[in-house]
């Protein structure tokens, strides 16, 4: 008598290969699981080693460094974090001169903790320092002010150092007794008008009362908007009132300048409108109609007030406004449109360089015309 019928035997012949296949798959899955675990463990060990290396790098003893001349490699050897060293070099490439230690507080990646650590090691060479008037031996002063937000008086300690008003942070302004809101308004006023270059403009900001202004004024370093031009190219007329201001001049005023004819005046006015104003007299060299000999003559009779620049909010500007600017190429425009939708915008020009929208040279030319707003009402 047969143990299995013919149909049962046929069924077993089909079932056995299936069972063998299941067993083999189970073994393969288990092996892969072991390999994955080992691989993850290896990665974790590697990450730990890298983390230890980073910790070791972070413990490099700080040394004195010169932000105006030291290379990236020297800055790293001095113990500065990578992003801070990169930020210092980039700022220099944009024409920045560090005149006082506090200027470094605005470098990308810097925070109060890092700045407090590196401040004793910052070396500002004599040729870059501020004028003797601001180098007096200031002493901290305690002042009691009225705090309208809390209907009470509070004591502030005036910092015992001079500072550049065009780079100072909100936190630093609050140390002078301004509220957070007042500091924000002052910074927005500064950024949207092209900088605060003199005492009159500082006092014209409505949130700054005369008492605070009087307390701050002797400590402030005002930057000259034309200081980046070589001295031999600066206007030579002693009386500034005789010069024609390039951003406010009409056609008649421009034609009155030696070296500018009616045709040249029309070209300058059209280019000024496209740019949104000139931030440097050097930009006139970009016009083919301005010859080298004419340029030398023109410089003696004109001036440039960068406060007159019309800025573009790169995070909210329309495509038409962006496309019309001479410094924004078609390629850059496409990248801006694409990445602005993905990222929601940028907070500083370095991010746009990292995103390969602009080269460093392109960014250097364009950055005076940009504003980085974070809301539609900002």
Mean pLDDT of 220-249: 59
What is the model's pLDDT at position 228? 40
Q: Percent of the chain having pLDDT more than 90?
A: 16
Predicted confidence (pLDDT) per residue in 38-81, tens digit: 543 443 444 444 343 333 334 568 899 999 999 989 999 999 98
Q: What are the phi and psi torsion angles at 35 (to 5°)? A: -65, -40
Q: Specify the 3-state DSSP secondary structure of 72.
A: helix
User: What residues does each domain of the chain span?
Assistant: 72-129, 134-221, 231-308, 312-371
Q: Specify the 3-state DSSP secondary structure of 82.
A: helix
Q: How confident is the model at residue 155 (pLDDT cuts 50, 70, 90)?
A: low
Q: Average model confidence (pLDDT) for the chain? A: 75
For tokens 């089909």, the residue is 14
CATH number of 231-308: 1.10.150.280
- 67-94: string of b/e by CB count within 10 Å (b at 16+)? bbebeeeebbebbbbeebbbbbebbeee
């Amino acid at each position: 008598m047969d143990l299995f019928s013919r149909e049962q035997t046929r069924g077993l012949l089909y079932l056995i290969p299936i069972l063998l296949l299941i067993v083999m798959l189970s073994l393969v899955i288990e092996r892969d699981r072991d390999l994955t675990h080992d691989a993850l463990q290896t990665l974790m060990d590697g990450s730990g080693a890298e983390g230890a290396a980073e910790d070791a790098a972070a413990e490099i003893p700080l040394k004195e460094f010169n932000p105006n001349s030291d290379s990236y490699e020297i800055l790293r050897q001095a113990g500065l974090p990578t992003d801070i060293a990169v930020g210092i070099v980039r700022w220099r490439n944009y024409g920045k001169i560090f005149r006082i230690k506090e200027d470094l507080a605005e470098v990308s990646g810097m925070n109060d903790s890092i700045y407090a650590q590196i401040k004793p090691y910052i070396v500002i060479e004599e040729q870059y320092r501020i004028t003797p008037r601001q180098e007096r031996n200031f002493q901290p002063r305690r002042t009691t002010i009225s705090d309208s937000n809390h209907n009470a008086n509070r004591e502030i300690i005036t910092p015992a150092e001079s500072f550049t008003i065009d780079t100072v942070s909100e936190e630093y302004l609050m140390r002078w007794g301004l509220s957070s809101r007042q500091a924000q308004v002052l910074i927005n006023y500064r950024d949207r008008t092209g900088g605060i270059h003199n005492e009159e403009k500082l006092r014209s900001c409505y949130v700054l009362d005369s008492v605070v202004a009087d307390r701050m004024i002797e400590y402030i370093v005002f930057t000259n908007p034309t200081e980046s031009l070589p001295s031999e190219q600066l206007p030579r007329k002693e009386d500034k009132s005789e010069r024609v201001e390039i951003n406010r001049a009409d056609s008649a005023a421009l034609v009155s300048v030696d070296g500018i004819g009616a045709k040249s005046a029309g070209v300058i006015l059209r280019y000024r409108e496209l740019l949104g104003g000139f931030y440097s007299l050097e930009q006139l060299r970009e016009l083919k109609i301005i010859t080298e000999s004419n340029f030398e003559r023109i410089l003696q009779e004109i001036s440039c007030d960068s406060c007159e620049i019309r800025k573009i909010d790169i995070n909210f500007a329309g495509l038409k406004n962006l496309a019309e600017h001479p410094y924004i190429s078609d390629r850059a425009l496409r990248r801006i449109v694409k990445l602005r939708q993905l990222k929601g915008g940028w907070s500083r020009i370095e991010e746009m360089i990292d995103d390969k929208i602009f080269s460093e040279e392109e960014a250097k030319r364009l950055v005076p015309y940009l504003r980085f707003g974070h809301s539609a009402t900002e």
